[in-house]
Amino acid sequence: MFDGRDTIVMFDKIAYEDLLPVRWRAQAEAVSDLQAQQFAERNLRVLQACDALEEQGRTEKSDEQSPHSADLLRLDLKLNLLLDVVGQLLAASQQRAQPVQIRFNAMGANFAWPQALPTGSRGVLEVTLRDIVVQPLNLPAEVVSGAPAGQIRVRFLSLGETVADHIEKLVFRRHRRKIAGARQQSARK
């Protein structure tokens, strides 16, 4: 049974951890309200695209009520395969940031970074969630203290409530999948 010991918490909230392409763009000044609004609109589209791509059809059993459920399932699987192939082609054709270990939630992030950044410095953290979604999240942030050696810790600024809610949902879904995977592993033992 899952005991929660592997739950990742950051800024007193559940966090998501992965190896993702990340880029830090330093900025001398805080993000303007107009720029924050533009980031929020783009980030919302990126998160909605990731949500749509993560929705998977049921593969365990088809709906006996629908005579075409098996056909729809096969079509869904083929479409997902096509999207994955297109995503791989897109990723190969564009220069991406190097994947680094990152933990994040709607409050902020910890990520591996080769150089130290002074506390209080501001910038935009770019995080590419999936290869198929070309546009990265652009998260205005400020460097805060408390990061382990070789990492940077940032607190997000001006995300917007809708974007923060979508990030929280993403983190929760990933956490729930981790719990389900751990339960399946312990059930097999």
Q: Looking at residues 6-35, what average pLDDT do you find? A: 88
| Residue 73 counted as domain residue | no
| Residue 79 counted as domain residue | no
Q: Which amino acid, one-letter code, is at 177?
A: R
**pLDDT band at residue 169 using 50, 70 and 90 as cut-offs:** very high
How far is 127 from 111, CA to CA, in rounded Å? Answer: 10
Residue 58 is predicted with a pLDDT of: 43
**pLDDT band at residue 143 using 50, 70 and 90 as cut-offs:** very high
Per cent of the chain over pLDDT 90 is 46
Q: Which two tokens stand for residue 3?
A: 């005991």
| Residue 133 counted as domain residue | yes
Name the CA dihedral angle for 35, 41, 42, 45, rounded to a multiple of 10 degrees. 170
| Residue 169 counted as domain residue | yes
| Residue 176 counted as domain residue | yes
Q: Which of 75, 71, 73, 80 is nearest to 53 (CA)?
A: 80
**Lowest-confidence region among 88-92, 154-158, 174-178:** 88-92
| Residue 65 counted as domain residue | no
Total count of domains within the chain: 1
Instruction: Provide the terminal-to-terminal Cα distance of the chain, rounded to the nearest Å.
Output: 11
Inter-helix orientation angle 161-188/33-54, to 10° = 30
When computed from its CA atoms, the radius of gyration of the chain, rounded to whole angstroms, is 19
| Residue 64 counted as domain residue | no
Q: Looking at residues 107-129, what average pLDDT do you find? A: 93
Q: Looking at residues 112-131, what average pLDDT do you find? A: 92
Structural domain including 117 reads: 9-54+95-188
Are the beta carbons of 143 and 121 closer than 8 angstroms? Answer: yes
**pLDDT band at residue 1 using 50, 70 and 90 as cut-offs:** very low
**Lowest-confidence region among 41-50, 61-70, 89-98:** 61-70
- pLDDT at 180 exceeding the cut of 90: no
Quick one: DSSP state of residue 32?
A: P
137 vs 64: which has the higher pLDDT: 137
- pLDDT at 60 exceeding the cut of 70: no
Residue 153 is predicted with a pLDDT of: 96
The gap from C-alpha 148 to its chain's centroid, in whole angstroms, comes to 21
Residue 56 is predicted with a pLDDT of: 55
Q: Which two tokens stand for residue 35?
A: 């720029």
Strand segments, DSSP code E, in the chain are 9-10, 13-14, 16-27, 99-104, 108-112, 122-127, 137-144, 151-156
CA atoms within 13 A on the CB side of 166: 20
| Residue 90 counted as domain residue | no
Residue 65 is predicted with a pLDDT of: 65
Exposure class string for 9-39: b at 16+ Cβ within 10 A, else e: ebbeebbbbeebbbbbeeeeeebeeeebeeb
Query: pTM for the whole thing?
Result: 0.78
For residue 28, what is the domain's CATH number? 2.40.10.220
